[in-house]
Amino acid sequence: EAQVTQNPRYLITVTGKKLTVTCSQNMNHEYMSWYRQDPGLGLRQIYYSMNVEVTDKGDVPEGYKVSRKEKRNFPLILESPSPNQTSLYFCASGKGTGYGYTFGSGTRLTVV
Amino acid sequence: GESVGLHLPTLSVQEGDNSIINCAYSNSASDYFIWYKQESGKGPQFIIDIRSNMDKRQGQRVTVLLNKTVKHLSLQIAATQPGDSAVYFCAENLNSGNTPLVFGKGTRLSVIA
């Protein structure tokens, strides 16, 4: 089944403790992206990647890192999480410009 | 920068009626548009898309209309059902160059049984 898989689905952590949210897609998509979704603010793009070893900042990249060492994986790294990073996170992948994205099921992160 | 927006943040419709969700876009260079549906606790799901060389595209119970003159996009849902209750997002993209989709904030559709 074609899908984007994120893990974990739910995560509660403490301020400053490094964490990684994994994202994997099995559709051989070149494009991958991370979004955060907060009430009233819609989907805001954190980082995106047009291909392996190519990443670019989105609208809200501060406090996040990503890597794209292989086509299928695009992990989101929070080196020192803070409470304002409490949010619902979505990973998405697509063929590229001019095509839609497939989204993962989301990761609800709480930083206390 | 230019961004996608929506006319109405919430919409309530009676079951069986038709729903119309509107979206205004401001980037005149955008030539690819998508509607997504997001149910509670789930990720956005692709519904239908349209490219700028068309002004109408139909799917199963859904129709997307594109008016490039006034930069307006709409999603019509026929015979709305309780399962259609969700948040609907429009998104726009340039059909060339390495630019990501730009999403609107979403409209919540509530179906009254």
Strands A19-25 and A4-7: antiparallel
The whole-number average pLDDT for the span A11-34 is 97
Taking phi over 0 as left and psi of -120 to 50 as alpha, with beta for the rest, A59 belongs to alpha
For residue range A32-88, what is the model confidence (pLDDT) as tens digits? 999 999 887 888 999 999 999 999 999 999 999 999 999 999 999 999 999 999 999
Q: Which residue has the higher pLDDT, B29 or A104?
A: A104
Q: Which residues pair with B111 in a beta bridge?
A: B13
Hey, are the CB atoms on B34 and A43 less than 8 Å from each other?
no
A25, amino acid identity? Q
The token pair that represents B62 in the structure block: 């859904």
Q: What percent of chain B has pLDDT over 70?
A: 89
Instruction: Determine contact: A27 vs chain B, CB below 8 A.
Output: no
What is the three-class DSSP state of B18?
Answer: coil
Which of B34, B41, B97 lies at the smallest CB-CB distance from A100?
A: B34
Which of A42, A50, A105 lies at the smallest CB-CB distance from B104?
A: A42
